[in-house]
Structure formats: C-alpha cells, structure tokens
Amino acid sequence: MGWLWAIIVGLVLGLIAKAILPGKQNIPLWLTVIFGIIGSVLGNSVATWIGVNDTKGIDWIRHLFQLIGAVVVVGVGDMLWASIRRPKQRT
C-alpha cells in the first residue's frame, strides 16, 4: 500500500509544482509523477535532517519541504527533458 500512496502523493505534488512554475512544462504525466515522488523523498529527507519530520498534528513544515523539493525537481527535470527531446541541429 505504501507504493500506491507514493504514486498518489507524487502525482499531486508534481501537478502542484507544474502549476507553481512559470511557463509551460513539456514533460509527460508519467514523468511528472516520478519527479513528484523524487521531490517528496527529497523533502522528507530534508525534514528528517533538520528534525521536523514528525510533529503533533499535521506536519506542515514537512509538506512544505516536499512541495519545494517537487518544484525544484520538476523545474530541473523539465529543462533536462527539453534538452533531450530538442532536435539536434546539424552545422
């Protein structure tokens, strides 16, 4: 059940990250989910590192770090995806 939750969180965070970033991201939905999962894992790692991963109630700070991680990963991933998919020009 943990992998299903990771996919759902990755999808939601990836879509929110795409909405936050300016311009149009040309990455497919499956890559958005993967980038969202990676950003979530990075955000959890940072929250654990600074000691705010488990608080009483809703872990707002951890969720903020997850969202920041997703925005960074989606932004960088979109640039990498565009550079890979861009047709090479012959000189």
| pLDDT (tens digit per residue) in 62-83 | 889 999 999 999 999 999 998 8
Q: What is the pLDDT of residue 89?
A: 61
Hey, which bits of 22-81 come out as E strands? none
pTM for the model stands at 0.84
Write down how long the chain is. Answer: 91
Q: Is the predicted pLDDT of residue 91 greater than 70, yes or no?
A: no
Q: Which tens digits make up the pLDDT trace of 9-30?
A: 889 999 999 999 998 888 999 9
Angle 38-59-49 (CA atoms, 0-180°, nearest 5)?
60
